Amino acid sequence: MTTITTRTRNTLYHETHQRQTASSHRSSRQNYSKIAHRALHEHSSSSQTRPATRNCIAINKAITQAKTTRQILRIWQETGRNFNYINIATTFNRLAQFGITSNDISIINDIGHTLLQDNASVLNECGTQAIANIVNAFAKLNIQNDALFKAMARCLLASDAQLLKKCTSQHIANIVNAFAKLGIQNDALFKAMARCLLASDAQLLKKCTSQHIANIVNAFAKLGIQNDALFKAMARCLLASDAQLLKKCTSQHIANIVNAFAKLGIQNDALFEAAARCLLALHARLLERCNSQAIANIVNAFAKLGIQNDALFEATARYLLASHARLLKRCTSQEIANIVNAFAKLGIQHDALFKASAQCLLDSDARLLKECSPQHIANIVHAFAKLGIQNDALFEAAARHLLASDAQLLERCNSQDIANIVNAFAKLGIQNGRLFQASAQCLLASDAQLLKRCNSQAIANIVNAFAKLGIQNDQLFEAVARHILASDAQLLKRYNSQDIANIAWAFIINNYCHHNLLQRLLAECFVRTSEFTEEHLWQLHQVWLSLSYEFPKTQVQWDLALLVKIHNTILHPQTRPSNLQDDIRGELHNLGIHFTTEENIRGLPIDIALKDKPLLIEVNGPSHYLRGTHTLDGRSKFKQRILEKIKYKVHTIPYWEWDNLSNSMEKQAYLQRLLQEESTR
């Protein structure tokens, strides 16, 4: 016996259809079953042969005249043993129009099972129209019946796909759309469909309407079935004759088409540029017919394939923000995540849109933010950080949501989500010790299973984030080292130069020296010397400083060519004095104190160095501190540690102390106290 699984949705028709009186039920039976009964009485009830054609025609007439689901199901219950394939197809087609309740599922599956009886004898009589109608009905009613769909695929593919070759473009569109909607994978059927569409110089494909093409590409993409030849031919059809077919697309069709190409990673710049032109034509009339999901899918598709179109994105932002951001307020959490992530991926700065998006997420006690999945939150904070858009309220609310109920949501994060989250907080200098420690616990839980799933970039981003914020977690860093060195450090071969520089730098900045790891990282540098950018070389220079002055007993071998490149890079550090530094230097000059500026000690740029004593003054503006705190970030802590190891006295002047001084007299008095304190140490 075939086991049939079902999925139900809310009834598609009003409850009034379920509340008819007993008399109306009797009336319905009389009105909509009498035609079928009259025909069947002409046929012997004991006959085992298929009912006469005229009887099936009468049944079909009764089905098409029925006005409700109840009436159709009553006809099936009373005369179903005499249904032929046309009656079954008509029944499903009409039920799809009226809708069903969960109570009707078993009856629907009984009807479907009829097609499979006697070695699917009834199903084998079906034509392409009937099959298309049946699968389309199951998809519309959201009923999963894998056995029936599998049998239908066999029928279509039998005898070198003879039946499939008789399909019209609409039949094919309906069939693949139904399989995709119910998530039923059948690669052989889809492959054969593609061959039919492409046969004879794609004659059938050229008969497709814009809706057919949208449905077909959407179905292939939904099931992840790659067919570059089909997609390439579809793009040609859409673009032929000055993109006539593309110009007939609705906004939803365009959204489905570009989304499908992006999902399967199929690059077609010409198609995307033409799609953008269609959306923007006539003052963006088509774009303004998009709903929030279509907008999210369109921008996400362009971003996923890295196709830049500033005019389209600017028009999209205007549309989302129009009428007090009416459309943006209709967005789901996923749609907002996709929209801001798309703008960030392409580096398109739009502060007003991001501000409004944050407001939508935070309104009504952050209702929308609380609906976010871990991936949505990761994408949102990552997008804000990538464009450098500060929004402390949003990040604080995101952290609360992730940590709520013993960090249940955070525990559902995958390794990439956690990497994106901590990296975003670190990029904007937002320290949240609880969030970072909870993230470390998630990564280390169950013998560090989640950490072991991290790719090279995720590992680099995680340790880099902890280092930037100066958050110590030796257990995490030790586990990272073990993970990288496991299996004879095979993982290191997948790392690029940026990953290697970031990881080595993060360990050193966080004052955690792991000899074996650093030795292997620096060994990898030997073969990558030419790949390192100036930023990477500065990071490796700081690693060299730490090993030289903080961990001199750690013996590691450096490549001479790499050291030369580092030396040449640090000879001329690119520094630009701030107004704060100029003000302090001016007051020191007025006091008659001799000092030098733009000093370079072991490659570290120094703000102010006194000439007659080993005293350095570091002028620390807001960028040296974690956001909203008076705590130095990891990089600034490291610089102070190294200078002190080289035997310099280092005094810092925090920006807030200097800002509190109202005149030159107070500023000079402050500097005199500073120098006096240093001389008595």
Q: pLDDT per residue over 129-145, tens digit each?
A: 999 999 999 999 999 99
- Supply the pLDDT for residue 436: 97
Q: Does 263 or 607 have the greater pLDDT score?
A: 263
Residues 98 and 13: beta-carbon distance below 8 Å: yes
**Res 519 pLDDT > 70:** yes
- CA distance linking residue 101 with residue 108, whole number of Å: 11
**Res 33 pLDDT > 50:** no
- The CA-CA-CA angle for residues 77, 83, 84, to 5°, reads 160
Q: How confident is the model at residue 22 (pLDDT cuts 50, 70, 90)?
A: very low
Q: Does 164 or 45 have the greater pLDDT score?
A: 164
**Res 599 pLDDT > 80:** no
- The CA-CA-CA angle for residues 339, 344, 350, to 5°, reads 80
**Considering only 6-10, 286-290, 326-330, 515-519, which range has the smallest mean pLDDT?**
6-10
Q: Are strands 615-620 and 604-610 parallel, antiparallel or unpaired?
A: antiparallel
Q: Which amino acid makes up residue 567? A: H
What tokens were used for 14?
Answer: 């009003």
- Supply the pLDDT for residue 318: 97
Nearest C-alpha neighbor of 273 from the set 295, 292, 294, 254: 254
Q: Does 574 or 641 have the greater pLDDT score?
A: 641
pTM for this predicted structure: 0.84
**Considering only 177-181, 189-193, 600-604, which range has the smallest mean pLDDT?**
600-604
Residue 363's alpha-carbon distances to 368, 374, 402, in angstroms, are 8, 19, 18
- Residue 629 is classified by DSSP as S
Q: What is the pLDDT of residues 399-412, one digit of tens each?
A: 999 999 999 999 99
Nearest C-alpha neighbor of 642 from the set 603, 612, 590, 676: 603
**Considering only 234-238, 250-254, 287-291, 597-601, which range has the smallest mean pLDDT?**
597-601
Ramachandran angles phi, psi of 649, nearest 5°: -85, 130
Q: How confident is the model at residue 3 (pLDDT cuts 50, 70, 90)?
A: very low
Residues listed for the chain:
681
Residues 460 and 439: beta-carbon distance below 8 Å: no
**Res 579 pLDDT > 50:** yes
Residue 534's alpha-carbon distances to 456, 505, 574, in angstroms, are 21, 14, 11
Alpha carbon dihedral 590, 591, 592, 598, in 10-degree steps, equals -70
- Supply the pLDDT for residue 603: 87
Residue 195's alpha-carbon distances to 150, 162, 177, 659, in angstroms, are 19, 12, 17, 74
The residues facing 653 across adjacent strands are 619
What tokens were used for 437?
Answer: 């420690």
Longest dimension (CA), the chain: 122
Residue 620: helix, strand or coil by DSSP?
A: strand
- Supply the pLDDT for residue 681: 55
Residues 573 and 603: beta-carbon distance below 8 Å: yes
- CA distance linking residue 292 with residue 320, whole number of Å: 8
- Supply the pLDDT for residue 204: 96
Nearest C-alpha neighbor of 274 from the set 233, 315, 245, 316: 245
- CA distance linking residue 351 with residue 389, whole number of Å: 7
- Supply the pLDDT for residue 531: 87
What tokens were used for 25?
Answer: 């039920």
- CA distance linking residue 329 with residue 322, whole number of Å: 11
Residues 42 and 55: beta-carbon distance below 8 Å: yes
End-to-end CA, the chain: 91
Question: CA quadruple 514, 519, 524, 525: dihedral positive or negative?
Answer: positive
- Supply the pLDDT for residue 679: 58
**Res 21 pLDDT > 50:** no
**Res 23 pLDDT > 80:** no
Element (H, E) at 589: helix 579-590
Residue 672's alpha-carbon distances to 559, 587, 588, 644, 680, in angstroms, are 46, 10, 9, 22, 12
- CA distance linking residue 467 with residue 422, whole number of Å: 11
Q: What would the mean pLDDT of 120-129 be, rounded to a whole number?
A: 91
Q: Does 153 or 597 have the greater pLDDT score?
A: 153
Q: Which amino acid makes up residue 266? A: I
Element (H, E) at 617: strand 615-620
The residue written with tokens 């609906």 in the block is 371
Q: Which amino acid makes up residue 150? A: K
Residue 598's alpha-carbon distances to 45, 576, 578, 601, 618, in angstroms, are 105, 9, 12, 10, 12
- Supply the pLDDT for residue 524: 86
Q: Which residues contact 343 (CB under 8 A, 6 or more apart)?
A: 299, 303, 313, 317, 349, 350, 353, 354, 383, 387
Residues 69 and 27: beta-carbon distance below 8 Å: no
% of the chain beyond a pLDDT of 90:
75
Residue 267: helix, strand or coil by DSSP?
A: coil
- CA distance linking residue 538 with residue 541, whole number of Å: 5
- Supply the pLDDT for residue 47: 35
- CA distance linking residue 331 with residue 338, whole number of Å: 10
Q: Are strands 615-620 and 649-654 parallel, antiparallel or unpaired?
A: parallel
- Supply the pLDDT for residue 611: 85
Q: What would the mean pLDDT of 402-427 be, rounded to a whole number?
A: 96
- CA distance linking residue 46 with residue 64, whole number of Å: 27
Q: What is the pLDDT of residues 456-503, one digit of tens each?
A: 899 999 999 999 999 999 999 999 999 999 877 777 888 889 999 999
Residue 11's alpha-carbon distances to 68, 104, 143, in angstroms, are 13, 10, 12
Q: What is the pLDDT of residues 387-399, one digit of tens each?
A: 999 999 999 999 9
Q: What is the pLDDT of residues 456-465, one digit of tens each?
A: 899 999 999 9
Residue 632: helix, strand or coil by DSSP?
A: strand
Q: Mean of the per-residue pLDDT values for the chain?
A: 89
- Supply the pLDDT for residue 393: 96
- Residue 265 is classified by DSSP as T
Q: Which amino acid makes up residue 64? A: T
